Amino acid sequence: MTTHDEKGAAGSAPEVRRDFIRDIIDEDNRTGRWGGRVVTRFPPEPNGYLHIGHAKSICLNFGIAAQYGGRCHLRFDDTNPTKEEQEYVDSILGDVRWLGWDWGKHLYYASDYFQQMYDWAIQLVKSGKAYVCDQTAEEVREFRGTLTQPGRESPWRNRSIEENLDLFIRMKNGEFPDGSRTLRAKIDMAHPNLNMRDPVMYRILHADHHRTGGKWCIYPMYDWAHGLEDSVEQITHSICTLEFENHRPLYDWFLDALGIYHPQQIEFARLNLTYTVMSKRKLLRLVQDKLVGGWDDPRLPTISGMRRRGYSPEAIRYFCQVIGVNKFNSTVDMALLEHCIRETLNKTSPRVMAVLRPLKVVIENYPEGQVEWMDAINNPEDPGAGSRKVPFGRVLYIEREDFMENPPKKFFRLSPGKEVRLRYAYFITCREAIKDAAGHVIELRCTYDPATRGGDAPDGRKVKATLHWVAAEQAIDAEVRLYETLFTRENPDDMPEGQDFTACINPKSLEVLTECKVEPSLKDAAPLTRYQFERMGYFCVDSDSSAVRPVFNRTVTLKDAWAKIQQKGSE
Ligand code: ATP
Ligand code: MG
Q: Dump pLDDT digits (tens) for 103-117.
A: 999 999 999 999 999
| Ligand 2 centroid, distance to 415 Cα (angstroms) | 58
Q: Which residue has the higher pLDDT, 18 or 299?
A: 299
| Ligand 2 centroid, distance to 491 Cα (angstroms) | 21
Cα torsion 52, 58, 61, 62: sign: negative
C-alpha R_g of the chain: 30
Average pLDDT, the chain: 95
pLDDT band at 8 (very low <50, low <70, confident <90, very high): very low
Backbone angles phi, psi at 362, to 5 degrees: -110, 125
In eight-state DSSP terms, residue 293 is S
Which ligand 1 atom is nearest residue 272's CA?
27
Our mutation pick for probing the ligand 1 site, out of 19, 52, 54, counting the most ligand atoms within 8 A of Cβ, is 54
Summarised one tens digit per residue, pLDDT across range 418-466 is 999 999 999 999 999 999 999 999 999 999 999 999 989 999 999 999 9
* Residue nearest to ligand 1 atom 23, measured at CA: 54
Count CB neighbours of 335 within 10 A: 21
pLDDT at 16: 63
Q: Fold for 9-111+224-339, please state it.
A: Rossmann fold (3.40.50)
Question: What percent of the chain has a predicted confidence (pLDDT) above 90?
Answer: 92
Which ligand 1 atom is nearest residue 281's CA?
3
CATH dotted code for 354-468? 2.40.240.10
CA dihedral 64, 65, 66, 72 (to 10 degrees): -130
| Ligand 1 centroid, distance to 430 Cα (angstroms) | 57
- For residue 300, the Cα-to-chain-centroid distance in whole angstroms is 7
Same fold, 9-111+224-339 and 115-220: no
pLDDT band at 84 (very low <50, low <70, confident <90, very high): confident
Which ligand 1 atom is nearest residue 271's CA?
28
pLDDT band at 3 (very low <50, low <70, confident <90, very high): very low
Q: Ligand 1 pocket, 71 CB below 6 A?
A: no
| Ligand 2 centroid, distance to 459 Cα (angstroms) | 68
* Residue nearest to ligand 1 atom 18, measured at CA: 240
Our mutation pick for probing the ligand 1 site, out of 226, 245, 270, counting the most ligand atoms within 8 A of Cβ, is 270
Q: How far apart are CA 541 and CA 557, in angstroms?
A: 15
Which ligand 1 atom is nearest residue 270's CA?
28
Show me where the domains of the chain are located: 9-111+224-339, 115-220, 354-468
Q: How far apart are CA 43 and CA 270, in angstroms?
A: 14
Mean pLDDT of 319-328: 95
Q: Which ligand is nearest to the CA of 332?
A: 1
Identity of residue 325:
V
Does 300 have pLDDT greater than 70? yes
Summarised one tens digit per residue, pLDDT across range 464-495 is 999 999 999 999 999 999 999 999 999 999 99
H helix runs in 35-113, sequence order = 52-67, 86-98
Mean pLDDT of 159-178: 98
| Ligand 2 centroid, distance to 332 Cα (angstroms) | 21
Q: Which residue has the higher pLDDT, 275 or 329?
A: 275
pLDDT band at 565 (very low <50, low <70, confident <90, very high): confident
Which residues lie below 8 Å from residue 374, measured CB to CB, with a gap of 6+? 389, 390, 391, 392, 424, 425, 454
pLDDT at 14: 44
Does 334 have pLDDT greater than 50? yes
* Residue nearest to ligand 1 atom 27, measured at CA: 53
- Report the CATH superfamily, name and number, of domain 115-220: Glutamyl-tRNA Synthetase; Domain 3 (3.90.800.10)
Q: How far apart are CA 551 and CA 544, in angstroms?
A: 7
User: In what side-by-side order are the strands of the sheet with 71-76?
Assistant: 39-42, 71-76, 107-109
Question: What percent of the chain has a predicted confidence (pLDDT) above 70?
Answer: 97
